[in-house]
Amino acid sequence: MSQEETAPAVTQPLIPADPQPDPAMILCVTLNPCLDRTLTVPPWRPGDLVRGTAIREVVGGKGNNVARALTRLGRMARPVTFLGGSVGAACEALLRDDDGLDPLVVASRAPTRVILTVRTGETAEQTAFFDPDPAITPDEAGRLLLAVEAAMRAGIEALTLSGSSPSPATHELYSELIAMALARRIPVFLDTYGPALDAIWGFWPTVIQLNRREASAHARISSLSDADAAALLEKWGRRGVACAVITDGPRPAQVLLGGKRYRAIPPAIEAVNPIGSGDCLLAGLVDGWLGGVEPEELIRHAIGCAVANAMTWDAGAIDQAEAARWAGQVLVEATSRRV
């Protein structure tokens, strides 16, 4: 038998095939994506045999939500993510066919996880069951780094880095991507926590966003007070972060922007589904930042996007007009100048 007949087929290139990028493109990186499957059921109790009334599948992962929201805001966004197995193939098809996106996919040996959300009726009551995180290999992590670097060389407008790191091989990826982007003067928008945030040093992003629980864990304290939040914002500011946001669900957000601190109060709503609201807030920050809007308008726009998301079920499926309407109801108060 000849060498040609015995050689294994090549199924995955070193770097994923990449069409000619548009310099106005925003890359949205997700290290830990999922297939988000929602099963709607009637009211139930543990032990019941429950027959579902509807099922809905979308691609989850914070950066995918950011990309979805950015396209709804009129921006060009491209998800960058690991996908593996039959679930990963289904996710890629959903991103292309349902969301109209062109994902930059790095194949992983580990299958993409599934999150099953059980929703009771048409209410916001839900319970989520998570598959274990995938074990991304160092080789796969390196291929994602090379793929993003190639896109940067061709020209992009901004880079978003969102969500958790699934395995030790990916913990330092965000830190490396921040350094690569800032060296090319590409603004970076970061929303992460845990090992991925702890691994960042030297170069910090242009914009950082955390919720209060994530900020508490990062600061190694059990409960983050407003004074603690202000101190953390100032710390990030001294490291070169131009805009820092700590959200708190429906309660006021703390913001450092343009050397001033702000308190942003969202309107009171009856949320349909708050999942993905932080991702839409980040999308609003990206959209407003690139649009050059004034600081208080930027904050209102970002929170308006978050509120618009909470009023829909699918994460990132915001309406631009609704986001603008809610932004008009956000109260922004300047609290102090940077210490």
Whole-number pLDDT of residue 339: 42
CA dist., res. 300 & res. 222, Å (int): 29
Per residue in 160-207, pLDDT (tens digit) is 999 999 999 999 999 999 999 999 999 999 999 999 999 999 899 999
**Tell me, what DSSP letter sits at residue 121?**
T
Domain boundaries, the chain: 206-339
- The b-or-e profile of 168-202 (16+ CB within 10 A means b, else e) is ebbbbbbbbbbebbbeeebbbbbbbbebbbebbee
Q: Is the dihedral of CA 177, 58, 26, 154 positive or negative?
A: positive
Reduced to 3 states (helix: H, G, I; strand: E, B; else coil), residue 261 is strand
Per residue in 238-258, pLDDT (tens digit) is 999 999 999 999 999 999 998
CB contact set of 262 (below 8 Å; sequence gap of 6+):
254, 255, 256, 295, 296, 299, 332, 333, 334, 335
Low-confidence ranges of the chain (pLDDT < 50): 1-16, 18-19, 339
CA dist., res. 258 & res. 318, Å (int): 27
CA dist., res. 279 & res. 275, Å (int): 9
Domain at 206-339, CATH class: alpha beta
CA dist., res. 238 & res. 257, Å (int): 12
Look up residue 183 and give its amino acid. Answer: A
Whole-number pLDDT of residue 189: 98
Give Dmax over CA atoms of the chain in angstroms: 77
CA dist., res. 206 & res. 240, Å (int): 7
Whole-number pLDDT of residue 196: 97
Whole-number pLDDT of residue 20: 54
Task: Name residue 49's beta-bridge partners.
Answer: none
Name the region of 272 (left: φ>0; alpha: ψ -120 to 50; beta: rest). alpha
CB contact set of 315 (below 8 Å; sequence gap of 6+):
36, 58, 60, 65, 68, 273, 275, 276, 279, 280, 309
CA dist., res. 217 & res. 117, Å (int): 25
CA dist., res. 84 & res. 148, Å (int): 18
Which pTM value belongs to this model?
Answer: 0.90
- The b-or-e profile of 110-148 (16+ CB within 10 A means b, else e) is bbbbbbbbbbeeeeeeeeeeeeebbebbeebbbbbbebb
